[in-house]
Amino acid sequence: MAQGFKPAKAASAQQQQKRKQTSSVAKKAIQPKKGARVCPPKKAPAIAMATKKRQQNASVVGHMEQEMIGRAAGGGPLKMLKAAKKDEDEKDKDKSKKK
Question: Are 67 and 78 in contact, with CB atoms under 8 Å apart?
Answer: no
- Assigned domain for 72 exists: yes
Task: Report how far apart, in Å, the C-alpha atoms of 37 and of each of 41, 45, 46 are.
Answer: 13, 16, 16
Tens-level pLDDT at each residue, the chain (99 residues): 567 767 677 777 777 777 776 656 666 667 777 888 877 878 888 889 999 999 999 999 999 899 888 888 887 777 766 666 666 666 666 666 665
Q: Is the pTM of this model over 0.75?
A: no
- Assigned domain for 26 exists: no
Question: Are 47 and 39 in contact, with CB atoms under 8 Å apart?
Answer: yes
- Assigned domain for 30 exists: no
d(CA 43, CA 49): 10
Report the domain count for the chain: 1
- Assigned domain for 7 exists: no
- Assigned domain for 34 exists: no
